[in-house]
Amino acid sequence: MEPTFFLSEIFESIQGEGNYAGANSLFLRFQFCNFTCSWCDTKYTWFKDSGAFKAFSAEEIKEKIIASQSPNVIFTGGEPTLYPLDKLVVPGKKLHVETNGSIIPVLPLDITLADNNRMTREAMDEAVISRFNWVVSPKLSNSRQKVNEESLRFWASREYCIFKFVVRNSADMDEVESLINQYAIPKQKVYVALEGQTLESQLKPDLVDEIVRRGWNFSPRLHVLLWGTKKEK
């Protein structure tokens, strides 16, 4: 049976965060998530009744990727790893995945979400997905979500991902420090962004100075700086 992909948004913009910040990109925002983070800015992707979304086949999605001028394709959400992303490869395009890091893609998935919606997929082919740029964003305690230790150990052992953390203050950075030490994550793979959806929230030089002192990378949130909370940006 061919998989079905539920998308809430498809748009072109720049990648706002991480190791490809500023890159011209096509965004595919997948519906549904296994988390319900307190500060999430895309809560409309959580549940089957929380927003407008459409069903697509793999071939329909690949047609949209081919038609886009953007060389980068960002799978975001929601939580993209609920879906078999290895079925969406298009030659000549660089694929990126923004994930909360709680799901191991190379294992089969059968999960029931908070709205009792069941999501299943086969294991993804690691030979395929290892060519993607994975941006793994483990949630800190400020999100009120539980860390999946098995999953973080998996991601920490892979060369094809970076880690992005969202912080509000120095206490959050202490938590980041603890996590990267626990899972032996190299500092050069750590990108730290500032929580918030306003221009003011992103202009905190003291926190950026601390990020630099700790030996990490600063991840700007360019979409917030330029467009605030505007959707499809």
What are the two backbone dihedrals, phi and then psi, of residue 209, each rounded to the nearest 5 degrees?
Answer: -60, -40
What stretches of 20-124 show up as alpha helix (H) in DSSP?
58-67
Distance CA 48, CA 214 (A): 41
Q: Where are the alpha helices (DSSP H) in 18-112?
A: 58-67
Q: In whole angstroms, what is the distance from residue 56 CA to residue 73 CA?
A: 16
Instruction: Measure the CA–CA gap between 186 and 190, rounded to whole angstroms.
Output: 7
| Residue 112 in this model has a pLDDT that exceeds 90 | yes
Strands 24-30 and 94-99: unpaired
- Per the listing, tokens 């038609």 go with 67
* 77-96 per-position pLDDT tens digit: 989 999 999 999 999 999 99
Res 145: pLDDT: 66
Question: pLDDT per residue over 159-177, tens digit each?
Answer: 999 999 999 999 999 999 9
- pTM equals 0.93
Compute the distance between CA of residue 200 and CA of residue 158 in angstroms, rounded to an integer: 35
pLDDT greater at residue 220 or residue 1: 220
* Distance in angstroms (rounded) separating the CA atoms of residues 40 and 113: 16
Domains along the chain? 5-227 (3.20.20.70)
Cα–Cα distances in Å, from 36 out to 14, 33, 67, 115, 121?
A: 26, 7, 33, 11, 21
Q: What mean pLDDT is predicted for residues 52-63?
A: 96
Is residue 41 predicted with pLDDT exceeding 80? no
